[in-house]
Structure 1
């Protein structure tokens, strides 16, 4: 039966005959030309969806991993008050100690610290340019947010801090910002830094913001260490 085909004889009142040929019998109403394309499209869509999900998951894990590493690197901070720092000399007079204690206690009341300090550093070249430094150590999850909050509290105490902007934080990282406020002696610079293990602020009279930022960064390089 080379080219012939068999035809099933219909029974009385039975179904229509079915031709048995050499061609495959189609058991679907789908267009045979479009079916493979549709299967391929859906398969590609699934692969793309899984790939996107994997990339998003990896990106999220990378962000969490980077943040966790940064916290681990910064959380164990130590702060000291050496006799000399960045060309300045620590002022241990009663007046300076009273001022530094006032700043330290006020600062510690605004943020929960593991340890706190306040000190005054005298500029040997100009007594009117003494620098007041105060802050402490603690675990901070969002250093920039906490630093901004402290600048707002300082604004309430001293008057509006204007021109607040980020400046280079140096090798310890984190965030450092400086601005200007006014007092009885005129305008003076205010700077602060925060990382995941420490937060410190300083009042730097008689200096422009750029100079204050450089000096504050130098002070940080000498008073901060990490365990």
Structure 2
């Protein structure tokens, strides 16, 4: 009997593959390194990667019992969402502008009710007007002091203005805005009237109950108190819309005084101003008339002005 040829496939053609497109089991797979996995998951064109990727193969035939690689027979799964970090599905936090100046995060909470309208604005307008009046009047200290008699100058220099703890039974206001305004008022007068022997600025009463009094003044030598009084009254008439200033009793401290009704931002104010050889001062009663202030003027001035 004749023997079959040792190479039944003559020529340079390679032996046919196994039916179904699977490669023959021989020769065995060649691995790039390490130990081959027992089972290899199929590799798809997209989708989620396997939890534990197998080693990469350097070439040759895939390992035994390997599932077929699909070149396009099955559509790839839809790729899952790409996560930049953290937990899946979280929206990335945007930190641009998310912190206020205080350093606290902004959560977009609805704003609270609008704040109640404050009277501080109109009060500060009056404060500014008074500072202007007193600084203009106090300028006379520099101009006319040299013309005064020595005895009058000595008496005038003993006068001081102070802010008492209470004024006609009204406590000193501790509101930060009003306290700051009073301090700035006094500091401004000291700067503009360097020869003043004292300056004063303070608020008394209870602003929440529309019970508020402001005092302001400077002490020093005034050569012509009557003129300073008239100049101050004219300036206050312009700034506070005072229609008429009427003379009133200046009280036991002497000098001259006037009071009148004013208005600022629609609210009434009672205004009294005094001047003597040693001081120029103003008392303003908010939300009241000049008649309300006149009855207490002499008492209030006596608690503010002190003569040595």
Cα 1:148–1:103 shift into 2, 3 Å: farther
User: Which among 76, 84, 94 is matched to residue 158 of structure 2?
Assistant: 76
1:192 aligns with 2:264: no
TM-score (norm 1): 0.61
Q: Which has the higher helix share?
A: 1
Task: Tell me the distance in 2 between the aligned counterparts of 1:212 and 1:138.
Answer: 25
Alignment-derived partner of residue 165 in structure 1:
246
TM-fit CA distance, 1:223: 2.1
Alignment-derived partner of residue 226 in structure 2:
144
Q: Is the 8 A contact 1:119 1:133 kept in 2?
A: yes
Task: Tell me the distance in 1 between the aligned counterparts of 2:279 and 2:261.
Answer: 22
Which is further off, 187-196 or 74-83?
A: 74-83
SS in 1 for 2:210: helix
User: Which among 100, 112, 127 is matched to residue 209 of structure 2?
Assistant: 127
Q: Is the 8 A contact 1:107 1:134 kept in 2?
A: no
TM-score (norm 2): 0.46
Task: Tell me the distance in 2 between the aligned counterparts of 1:202 and 1:148.
Answer: 16
TM-fit CA distance, 1:87: 1.3
Cα 1:77–1:153 shift into 2, 3 Å: same
- Structure 1: where are the runs of 5+ without partners? 1-66
Cα 1:183–1:138 shift into 2, 3 Å: same
Which is further off, 195-204 or 111-120?
A: 111-120
Task: Tell me the distance in 2 between the aligned counterparts of 1:92 and 1:186.
Answer: 22
Alignment-derived partner of residue 286 in structure 2:
205
Instruction: Provide Cα deviations, 1:67-105, integer angstroms capped at 9, x if missing partner.
Output: 987766554211221211211111122112122234435
- Structure 2: where are the runs of 5+ without partners? 1-148
Alignment-derived partner of residue 46 in structure 1:
none
Alignment-derived partner of residue 236 in structure 2:
154
Alignment-derived partner of residue 181 in structure 2:
99
TM-fit CA distance, 1:160: 2.5
TM-fit CA distance, 1:142: 0.9
Instruction: Provide Cα deviations, 1:23-73, integer angstroms capped at 9, x if missing partner.
Output: xxxxxxxxxxxxxxxxxxxxxxxxxxxxxxxxxxxxxxxxxxxx9877665
TM-fit CA distance, 1:187: 1.8
Task: Tell me the distance in 2 between the aligned counterparts of 1:105 and 1:151.
Answer: 22
**Which consecutive segments of 4 or more residues in structure 1 shift more than 6 A?**
67-71
Q: Which has the higher strand share?
A: 1
Greater relative contact order (Cα < 8 A, sep 6+): 1
Residue-pair matches, total: 159
Alignment-derived partner of residue 6 in structure 1:
none
Q: Is the 8 A contact 2:241 2:264 kept in 1?
A: no
Task: Tell me the distance in 1 between the aligned counterparts of 2:291 and 2:150.
Answer: 32
TM-fit CA distance, 1:199: 1.0
- Larger CA Rg, structure 1 vs 2: 2
